[in-house]
Amino acid sequence: MRFVAFLLTKLLVYVLIIVIGVTVVFLVPRLLPSGPVEALLARIMAGGGFMEPAQVESMRVSLTQTFGLEGTLWEQYRGFIERVLLAGDFGPSLAMFPTSVNVLIRQALPWTLGLLLTATIIAWILGNVIGVIAGYRKDKAFSKVLELIAVAVYPIPYYILALILIILLAYLWPVFPMSVHVRSAPLSLRFLATVVHNSFLPALSIIIVGVGWWVISMKALSSSVCEEDFVQFARLRRVSDGTIMTRYVARNAILPQITALALMIGGVFNGALITEIIFDYPGLGSLTYMAVMQSDYNLLMGTVTLSIVAVATATLVIDLLYPFFDPRIRYR
C-alpha cells in the first residue's frame, strides 16, 4: 500500500508539472509583440506579391484557423490542451508551412539525442571517475592539479570553447569541418563515420565543460564521504584502497550524481542552442532558435513542451528508481 500511495502521489505531481509547464508555454508566445499570422502575411507582402484587401483578410482568417488562434484565449487554450496533450499534435509550422511540427521534431530529435546524450554520458563517466580519484587522493599533487584544471575549465561557456575549437581544429589545423554538413543517407558504417566526424567538435566542447563540473562536484562529495566513520573503520580493518574507493566512497558519493544525470538527460531535449547555431547543427536547438526568430508559435511550443515532458519524466523515473540505488531510502 505504501508503494501504491507513493506512486500515485508522484504521478499526480508529474501530471501537474506537465500541465503547468504546458500552460506557461501556451501563454508566453502570446505575449510576444508580433503574431505568427501577421509575420507570415508580412513576409508574403515583402516578397513582392500583390493581393487585394479582401484576399489578405481571407488569408488572415484561414491562417488564424490553421494555427488555432481563433476565438477567446480560453477557447484557444482548451483546443491547445486537447490537440497537444491528448492527441500529441502540434499543428503545422509557420516557418516551414505546411510541414507539420511533429515532422520537424522527428527529423531533429535523433541529431540532438546523438550529440547531447552521448556527450552528457561521456562527460558524466569521465568526470566522476576523475573526481572520485581526486577526492580519495586529495592530498596528492595530481589531485590538486586535476581540481585546478576542472575549476579553470568549468566557468568557460561551452559556446566560447566551441569557437576556440573551431579556430584551432577547423581553421588553423583543418582536421574537422567548421559546420555540420551531412546529407541524409541509408544507415551504414560510412554514414555513421561521417556523422561522428562532423559532430566531433560540438560534442568535444560540451564534454570538456561537462567533465569540469562533474570533477568538481564528485571530488567534493567523495572528500566528504572519506571522512565518514565507516570509511575510517574500513581503513582500520586494512581493507585495500581500491575496495574502499570503489565500494565505500564512490558508491555513496555517486547518488547525487545519478539524480543530476537524470535531470541533464531530460534537459538534452532542449538542444544545445548556441552550440547548434555555431556549428549549424540540425538539432532541436536550431529549431527553437528558428521558432523564436520567426515567431513560430507551434514550433516553439512543440520543442519546449517536449523538453518539459522529458525533464518531468526523468524526475519521475529517478524518484521511482532511487531506492534501488540507495537501500536506505524506502517508498513512503
Are 162 and 278 in contact by the 8 Å Cβ rule? The answer is yes
pLDDT band at 186 (very low <50, low <70, confident <90, very high): low
* Residue 293 neighbours by CB distance under 10 Å: 9
> Once rounded to an integer, what is the mean pLDDT over residues 105-121?
82
Are 88 and 267 in contact by the 8 Å Cβ rule? The answer is no
Q: In the chain, helix, strand, coil percent, each to 5? A: 75, 0, 25
Torsion of CA 75, 81, 86, 92, to 10 degrees: 90
| pLDDT number for residue 272 | 66
Longest dimension (CA), the chain: 90
- What are the tens digits of pLDDT across the range 134-177? 887 877 777 778 778 887 777 777 777 778 888 888 778 877 77
> Once rounded to an integer, what is the mean pLDDT over residues 73-91?
74
35-49, 182-196, 305-319: range with lowest mean pLDDT? 35-49
In DSSP terms, which residues pair with 225 in a beta bridge? Answer: none
pLDDT band at 249 (very low <50, low <70, confident <90, very high): confident
The candidate with the shortest Cα–Cα distance to 105, out of 275, 271, 272, is 271
Decide: residue 175, CB within 10 A, 0-12 exposed, 13-18 middle, 19+ buried. Answer: exposed
| pLDDT number for residue 57 | 66
| Residue 128 or residue 190, greater confidence | 128
> Once rounded to an integer, what is the mean pLDDT over residues 191-199?
75
CA–CA distances in Å: residue 74 to residues 20, 23, 70, 81, 195? 15, 11, 10, 11, 45
Q: Which stretch of DSSP H or E encloses residue 125?
A: helix 118-136
| pLDDT exceeds cutoff 80 at 132 | yes
| Residue 188 or residue 271, greater confidence | 188
C-alpha cell at 212: 569540469
| pLDDT exceeds cutoff 70 at 113 | yes
| pLDDT exceeds cutoff 70 at 71 | no
| pLDDT exceeds cutoff 80 at 211 | yes
- What are the tens digits of pLDDT across the range 22-65? 888 777 766 666 666 666 666 666 655 556 666 666 666 666 66
Are 151 and 239 in contact by the 8 Å Cβ rule? The answer is no
> Distance between alpha carbon 39 and the CA centroid of its chain, in Å?
29
Q: Report the alpha-carbon distance of residue 288 to residue 27 in Å, rounded.
A: 17
- Which amino acid type is present at position 316? L
The C-alpha angle with vertex 161 and arms to 159 and 163, in degrees rounded to 5, equals: 70
- Which amino acid type is present at position 141? A
Are 105 and 283 in contact by the 8 Å Cβ rule? The answer is no
The C-alpha angle with vertex 65 and arms to 282 and 49, in degrees rounded to 5, equals: 70
The candidate with the shortest Cα–Cα distance to 219, out of 145, 166, 277, 274, is 145
| pLDDT number for residue 202 | 82
Q: Domains, the chain, ranges and CATH?
A: 2-86 (no CATH), 105-325 (1.10.3720.10)
In DSSP terms, which residues pair with 92 in a beta bridge? Answer: 100
